[in-house]
Structures are given as C-alpha cells and as structure tokens.
Structure 1
Amino acid sequence: MADDKTKRDFRDRNRVSADENYEVEYFALEMGITPDQVRDLIRTIGNDRAALTEAARALKAQK
C-alpha cells in the first residue's frame, strides 16, 4: 500500500535533538566527534543542523 502523502510527520529534520541519544550519537559518528562534544555544541549554538555541522567541522579541524 502506498504512503498517505496527506499525513505529515511532526519531526524537524533540520534540527538535532539533544534529548534523543540516537540522534546525538549518529551526528557524532557522522562528524567524527564525541557525543559529549555534540551536546556541548548544542548547548552553545543551538540545535540547528547546519550550524552544528559547521561548528563540528571547525572543532574537528582544531585537533
């Protein structure tokens, strides 16, 4: 059966949820940093995925 296109998902894919461990761990693995570093970034700059990606790349480059 085909998906019902009228039903919308409530999740926002442009954000990383600090409350969901799997999201934090996936983002950390994807960026090559630790989950604790991801949580620190979320605390300082917010949960916008684009801003987090940029900050994570800068953080990784510092090493």
Structure 2
Amino acid sequence: MKDQTPGVQPERIDMDNPQARVHWARKLDASEDQLREAVRAVGDRATDVELHLKGARSTTNSDRVHELGAK
C-alpha cells in the first residue's frame, strides 16, 4: 500500500465505474460480485475492502496448526 499523506483521501473504489470495478477486482483477486459485497459491508476504502476480502478467505493460525496435526 502507498503511504498516506495527511489530508489526502485514501484510495476509494468507485463501484459506479465499470473500469474501476474490473481494476479493483483483479487487484484484489476477487470477482466483481465479491467486490460489490465487500464494498456494501465495509465501505469503499480500498484498504478496508482488501482486509474484508482477505478475512473472508484466510485461515487463522490455529486452523493452520490444526491442519498440520499439532495439538
């Protein structure tokens, strides 16, 4: 992610712009429907959408330890 400059808007995802939807869906490795749902859930800030999408697809450390057979 880029450094945030005080007073400058963070990157926003414009769901009304078809090119922006395609760009962000590719960048965040999501479908446009997943992107739309994420923006509905957390707003249009790209960082919030990215965290929401990653959280929906990621496993916890506990899950990984369990998968490896550790107790």
Q: How many residues align?
A: 51
TM-score by length of 1: 0.67
Identity, in percent, stands at: 16
Do 2:10 and 2:45's aligned partners in 1 also have CA atoms closer than 8 Å? no
RMSD, aligned CA: 1.7
Distance in 2 (alpha carbons) for counterparts of 1:23 and 1:60: 22
TM-score by length of 2: 0.60
Q: Which has the larger radius of gyration?
A: 2
Moved over 2 A (4+): 59-62
Counting only pairs closer than 5 Å after superposition, residues 1-63 of structure 1 correspond to structure 2 as 14-61=11-58
Show structure 1 runs of 5+ residues with no match.
1-11
Show structure 2 runs of 5+ residues with no match.
1-8, 60-71
